[in-house]
Chain A
Amino acid sequence: MSALVNKIRLYWPLIKSTQTGLLLATGIAGYLSAGTPIGLPTLLGVSLTLFLAISGSTILNMWYDHDIDAKMKRTHKRPAAAGQLGRAEVFWVGMVISILGVGGALLIAPLYGAVVFAGWFFDVVVYTLWLKRRTCWSIVWGGISGAMPILSGRALATGQIDLVGILLALAILFWIPTHTLTFSIKFREDYANAGVPTFPSTYGETFTRATIAVSSVLAAVAIGWASVLIGVSAGYLRLIAVLTAGLLLLAFATFRVQSERVNFGLFKYASLYMLSAMIILAMKAF
């Protein structure tokens, strides 16, 4: 029993629980945003399959990037990088969880499964295996991958890829750079040591901060537009408008004040903004 608990304790950091949780929340919000009657078994199925597919791709990312992670102060204690888990073990755990997640999604609905698989493919194959070590623009593909959970949830509820689903996916796509680029500024030496090309090392910090600000604005526009199309009530639209104003204010501040603190503030606020927006969109179902 204690051996099992020990294993779980080692496996848990492999899935980046906060990031996985937030992406799972977007998927559930995408499903609930359609306002269709909630089927509890379907909701549980969406939650489980998305959790497994996102976790599986994250574990495979950790498996492939163990050498990079070992060179970075921020990540060198991760179980795969620190050698607490063998490479083959991490690979097979990632593959089994991925197959369970994507396979389960395909069983629930082919379209839903196809979108979930697209997310897994973009993350593992395009982002991790192909582009991450070659170009700083790999984050676009990481972003597309991150946008798939919300699109899949929406597609499952509506039975099609609609404009709202695409806008919600764009919102996530534009939100992800505030996360990854802020990290790439804060830990630029780490990334340089590991030889990973980043926006700050390729284009400089000013351009990177500008990109963060612009992408935050675009994420806010996409969320606002999607909220109107979804038919969110006037009260919640006012709340989204207020939160968006705060986001734009901080994005503007990152232009004016070249400060890591303001940048990190924008990153945290953008995460809070996205979580709040997801909760508001999910309200549509109740």
Chain B
Amino acid sequence: MKMSMLDRILLLATGLLAAYQIVVGINDLSTAPIIAYTIAFGVLLVAGLLLIILGFDVLDSPVVVIVSTVIPLALSLGLVWEHLPAFRTPYLVFAMLGFLAVVLTRTIPMQNKLPTVVIAVVHGIAGLTIFLLPIAIAVQGVVRPAFALVGLGGALIGLGGLLLSFLKAGRPILSRETIFKVLPGLLLLMTLCFVAGFKYG
């Protein structure tokens, strides 16, 4: 499917927002969350640029499933590290093992449902963490209410991941054309929620 000029502008805006977040948005944090957030927004930035350069066909690559796991895993790790100190080590272990499991189940040919189960578990836990944790701490008053926007971004990333995963599994919820039509806007809205949440939360 050919990419329209509007798609390119939306993806460029996504990339610029991610670049902004990398440069100025996370300066006053400790090293670990900075690394985690840099990885998450870095993947978003590079993915946006590659989509502009190579077009939607790049989403057919098997590497996409692995790369798209990095964003929620890194983002959730940064959030846990920053706001749930007691769970830092367990979540770090989960993130590393989860990523390793996704890489292995996607590179070694398998006939069973293990690759789908692994993806569902890893994405599910990471996605719920990004969705629920910011909203919970915003409601408790630990952070400003605007931080809940990060949770909204988490919901959107979950939606995007779900649409792409089912498409790649051969059981699309929406048609390929519809998914590609909404994807650039969804990515921009998601990134906008994250950036606004981190800035004003």
- Closest chain B CB from A280 CB (angstroms): 9
Q: With A261-B54, A265-B53, A269-B53 in contact, is A238–B46 under 8 Å at CB?
A: no
Contact A239 B19 (CB under 8 A): yes
- Which residues of B have CB within 8 Å of A268? 53
Contact A245 B22 (CB under 8 A): no
Task: Kindly state whether residue A242 has any CB partner on chain B within 8 Å.
Answer: yes
Convert A233-258 into 0s and 1s, putting 1 for each residue whose CB lies closer than 8 angstroms to a CB of B: 11110110111011001100000000
Of B22, B42, B54, the contact of A265 (CB 8 Å cutoff): B54
Task: Kindly state whether residue B45 has any CB partner on chain A within 8 Å.
Answer: yes
Convert A25-43 into 0s and 1s, putting 1 for each residue whose CB lies closer than 8 angstroms to a CB of B: 0000000000000000000
Within 8 A of B (CB), among A12-58: none
Q: Please, how many residues of chain B have a CB less than 8 angstroms from a CB on the other chain?
A: 15
Task: Kindly state whether residue A109 has any CB partner on chain B within 8 Å.
Answer: no
- Closest chain B CB from A286 CB (angstroms): 14
Contact B45 A242 (CB under 8 A): yes
Within 8 A of A (CB), among B34-73: 34, 38, 41-42, 45-46, 49-50, 53-54
Task: Kindly state whether residue B27 has any CB partner on chain A within 8 Å.
Answer: yes
- Closest chain A CB from B78 CB (angstroms): 13
- Which residues of A have CB within 8 Å of B45? 242-243, 246
Task: Kindly state whether residue A272 has any CB partner on chain B within 8 Å.
Answer: yes
Task: Kindly state whether residue B24 has any CB partner on chain A within 8 Å.
Answer: yes
| A interface, CB within 8 angstroms of B | 233-236, 238-239, 241-243, 245-246, 249-250, 261-262, 265, 268-269, 272
Please name the 9 residue pairs, one residue from A and one from B, whose CB atoms are nearest each other, closest first.
A242-B42, A246-B46, A235-B23, A268-B53, A265-B54, A239-B22, A238-B38, A265-B53, A238-B22
| B interface, CB within 8 angstroms of A | 19, 22-24, 27, 34, 38, 41-42, 45-46, 49-50, 53-54
Question: Could you list 28 examples of A-B contacts with CB < 8 Å?
Answer: A235-B22, A235-B23, A235-B27, A238-B22, A238-B23, A238-B38, A239-B19, A239-B23, A241-B42, A242-B38, A242-B42, A242-B45, A242-B46, A245-B42, A245-B46, A246-B45, A246-B49, A249-B46, A250-B50, A261-B54, A262-B54, A265-B50, A265-B53, A265-B54, A268-B53, A269-B49, A272-B49, A272-B53
